C-alpha cells in the first residue's frame, strides 16, 4: 500500500507499448514484475496517494488503501475518470453513513489533446527585449476596463 494492485485485474498492460502505471507515477514507484506480469508499488512509504496510477489503469486494477499508520480501516475513495469528467464514490467506515457520489468536470471546451498553445490573442510586439509576452497585452483583457497600476510601470 497505499496504492495496491489487484492481481486478477492486472494484465501487465500487455496490449500497450508500456505499463500505464509505471509510465505515469510521478515518484517512479509502480513497477512491473516481469515474471508474473503484474504491477506493484515498490516503495509504499514514498507514495503521495496522488491516484494517477489508479486513474490511468486501463483495467481498473489499481486501488488505494489509506495509510495504515493513521487511517482507520474500511473507507475508500474510488475514481472513474473519463475524457470530460471524473466520478467519485466515497465509502465511509460506518455503514450507517450512505456512500457519497460526486461527478466533477475535468476540462471544458477543448477536446483532449487539442489545446492550441499560441495565438489565442495577438502578441503586441516582436521585440525580444520588451516585457510583452506571447498573447499580451490583449491576453490580459485590459480592454474590459481600466488597470490601476499605481506607480509600477507595466507592459
Rule CB under 8 A: choose which of 6, 107, 122, 125 binds another protein: 107
CA 63 to chain centre: 15
* Site for another protein contains 62 (CB under 8 A): no
In the complex with another protein, which residue's Cβ is closer, 8 or 121?
121
In the complex with another protein, which residue's Cβ is closer, 27 or 36?
27
Rule CB under 8 A: choose which of 58, 112, 122, 125 binds another protein: 112
Alpha carbons 30 and 53: distance in angstroms, whole number: 8
| Near another protein in 16-55, by CB under 8 A | 23-28, 31, 42, 44-52
Which residues make Cβ contacts (< 8 Å) with residue 30, sequence separation at least 6? 3, 19, 21, 22, 24, 39, 40, 41, 42, 53, 62
> Is the separation of the CB atoms in 54 and 10 below 8 Å?
no
Select from 6-14, 32-40, 123-131 the region that touches another protein (CB under 8 A).
Answer: 123-131
Main-chain dihedrals φ then ψ at residue 12, nearest 5 degrees: 70, 15
Alpha carbons 12 and 30: distance in angstroms, whole number: 11
Rule CB under 8 A: choose which of 1, 37, 59, 60 binds another protein: 1
* Site for another protein contains 104 (CB under 8 A): yes
* Site for another protein contains 73 (CB under 8 A): yes
User: Is 48 tagged catalytic?
Assistant: yes
In the complex with another protein, which residue's Cβ is closer, 10 or 137?
137
Alpha carbons 12 and 19: distance in angstroms, whole number: 6
Question: Which residues form the catalytic set?
Answer: 48
Amino acid at each position: 500500500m497505499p496504492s495496491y494492485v489487484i492481481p486478477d485485474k492486472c494484465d501487465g498492460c500487455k496490449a500497450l507499448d508500456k505499463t500505464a502505471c509505471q509510465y505515469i507515477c510521478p515518484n517512479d514507484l509502480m513497477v512491473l514484475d516481469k515474471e508474473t506480469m503484474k504491477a506493484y508499488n515498490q516503495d509504499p512509504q514514498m507514495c503521495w496517494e496522488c491516484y494517477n496510477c489508479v486513474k490511468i489503469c486501463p483495467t481498473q486494477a489499481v486501488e488505494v488503501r489509506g495509510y495504515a499508520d493513521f487511517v482507520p480501516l474500511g473507507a475508500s475513495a474510488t475514481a472513474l475518470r473519463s475524457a470530460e469528467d471524473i466520478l467519485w464514490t466515497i465509502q465511509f467506515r460506518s455503514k450507517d453513513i450512505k456512500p457519497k457520489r460526486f461527478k466533477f468536470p475535468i476540462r471544458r471546451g477543448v477536446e483532449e489533446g487539442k489545446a492550441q498553445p499560441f495565438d489565442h490573442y495577438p502578441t503586441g510586439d516582436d521585440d525580444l527585449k520588451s516585457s510583452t509576452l506571447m498573447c499580451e497585452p490583449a491576453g490580459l483583457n485590459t480592454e474590459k476596463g481600466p488597470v490601476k497600476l499605481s506607480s509600477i510601470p507595466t507592459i
